[in-house]
Amino acid sequence: MDQTLDDVLKNFVDISISEIEALKKDISLEVYKKAMELIMDAEEHGSRVHITGIGKPGHVAGYVASLLSSTGTPAYELHGTEAVHGSSGQVRPGDVVIAISNSGETSELKATVMTLKNNGAKIIAVTGKRDSWLVRNADAFLYAGVENEGDPLNRAPRASILAEVFVLQILSLLLQCEKNITPQQYVKWHPGGTLGQLREDEKDK
The model's pLDDT over 90-125, given as tens digits with 9 standing for 90+, comes to 999 999 999 999 999 999 999 999 999 999 999 999
* Sheet with 96-100, side-by-side order of all strands: 75-77, 49-53, 96-100, 122-127, 140-143
Phi, psi of 127 (to 5 degrees): -155, 160
| Beta-bridge mates of residue 122 | 96
Give the rounded distance of the alpha carbon of 28 from its chain centre: 16
Q: What is the mean pLDDT of each run of 10 residues along the chain (205 residues)?
A: 90 98 97 98 98 98 97 97 95 98 98 97 98 98 98 96 98 97 90 83 75
Give domain status of residue 136, yes or no.
yes
| Beta-bridge mates of residue 125 | 99, 141
Vertex 37 angle, CA 30 and 93, to 5°: 145
Give domain status of residue 200, yes or no.
no
Give domain status of residue 172, yes or no.
yes
Q: What is the pLDDT, as a whole number, of residue 205?
A: 58
Total structural domains in the chain?
A: 1
Rounded to two decimals, what is the model's pTM?
Answer: 0.96
Structural domain of 106:
5-187
Give domain status of residue 196, yes or no.
no
Give domain status of residue 197, yes or no.
no
Q: In sequence order, which ranges of the chain are alpha helices (DSSP H)?
A: 5-23, 29-44, 56-70, 107-118, 133-136, 159-178, 183-189
Give the rounded distance of the alpha carbon of 30 from its chain centre: 17
At 114, the amino acid letter reads M
Question: CB of 128 within 8 A of CB of 160?
Answer: yes
Q: What is the pLDDT, as a whole number, of residue 202?
A: 83
Question: CB of 142 within 8 A of CB of 125?
Answer: yes
